[in-house]
């Protein structure tokens, strides 16, 4: 067993049962002209964490532990995109519309891919998901069960949307979850802070948080 001096208290895990899930580090959220920008967000906040997510990936690669990358995207015919999602609000472009990186949030388009600095290496799993949570309408639960995974480290964007949703889904499925606090980001700094606070509150009601340095140290 190993222990990370996490918040709100120590996070103990068996490395043989630990996996990393990196949520939606896609060009559509991180580069100008993608889904994040169409929603009116300043995407520069998110690009700042790319090197830190890279260090987290290297720590898991160095320890030879499972890595799963997710991509939020939809089929080209939009059959997996509910109108309630596509038609919500007044974005400058909607999911499926042609943008500067191809069709917005559509599988196979350049914008839906992971930023090149964080591209998956051979043997790592890349999972496309139509929802905010990574368990909904994906084989993630089976993938983790097959590998005997009980503990998860989460990272990626955005903290209070897809990352927090996935962490809550994982809780309901019995996983112990730790969020890498400097390897996640929001378009709204106050929402990131609130999400970290509410995850750790009430005795880790959703889970733990720790820095990439703390996680990497434990995996060395």
**Which are the catalytic amino acids?**
24, 129, 162
CB atoms within 10 A of CB 106: 22
The nearest distance, CB 62 to ligand TIU, in angstroms, is 26
Work out whether 31 is an interface residue with ligand TIU (CB under 6 A): no
- By CB under 6 A, what part of segment 69-88 binds ligand TIU? 72
The answer to whether 66 and 19 have CB atoms below 8 angstroms apart is yes
50 scored as a contact of ligand TIU (CB under 6 A): no
- Among residues 39 and 63, whose Cβ is nearest to ligand TIU? 39
Region label for 121, one of left (φ > 0), alpha (ψ between -120 and 50) or beta (otherwise): beta
DSSP at 7? B
Q: Is residue 39 at the binding interface for ligand TIU, with CB under 6 A as the rule?
A: yes
Residue 28 vs 182, nearer CB to ligand TIU? 28
Q: What is the b/e burial string over 134-167, where b = at least 16 CB atoms within 10 angstroms of the residue's CB?
A: bbeebebeeebeeeebbbbbbbbbbbbbbbbbbb
219 touches ligand TIU by CB under 6 A: no
User: Least separation, in Å, of the C-beta of 103 and ligand TIU?
Assistant: 16
Residue 95 makes contact with ligand TIU by CB under 6 A: no
Residue whose Cβ sits closest to ligand TIU: 162
C-alpha to C-alpha distance for 10 and 12, rounded to whole angstroms: 6
């Amino acid at each position: 067993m190993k222990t990370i001096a996490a918040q709100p208290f120590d996070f103990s895990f068996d490395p043989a049962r630990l996996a990393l899930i990196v949520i939606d580090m896609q060009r559509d959220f991180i580069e100008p002209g993608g889904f994040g920008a169409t929603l009116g967000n300043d995407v520069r906040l998110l690009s700042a964490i790319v090197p830190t997510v890279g260090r987290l990936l290297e720590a898991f690669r160095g320890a030879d532990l499972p890595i799963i990358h997710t991509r939020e995207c939809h089929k080209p015919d939009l059959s997996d995109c509910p109108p309630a999602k596509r038609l919500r609000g007044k974005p400058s472009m909607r999911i499926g519309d042609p943008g500067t990186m191809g069709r917005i949030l559509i599988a196979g388009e350049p914008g839906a891919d992971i930023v090149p600095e964080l591209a998956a290496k051979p043997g790592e799993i890349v999972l496309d998901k139509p929802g905010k949570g990574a368990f909904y309408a994906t084989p993630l639960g089976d993938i983790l069960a097959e590998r005997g995974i009980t503990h998860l480290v989460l990272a990626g964007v955005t903290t209070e949307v897809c990352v927090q949703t996935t962490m809550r889904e994982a809780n309901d499925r019995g996983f112990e979850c730790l969020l890498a606090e400097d390897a996640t980001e929001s378009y709204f700094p106050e929402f990131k802070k609130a999400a970290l606070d509410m995850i750790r509150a009430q005795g880790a009601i959703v889970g733990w948080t720790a820095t990439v340095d703390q996680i990497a140290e434990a995996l060395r």
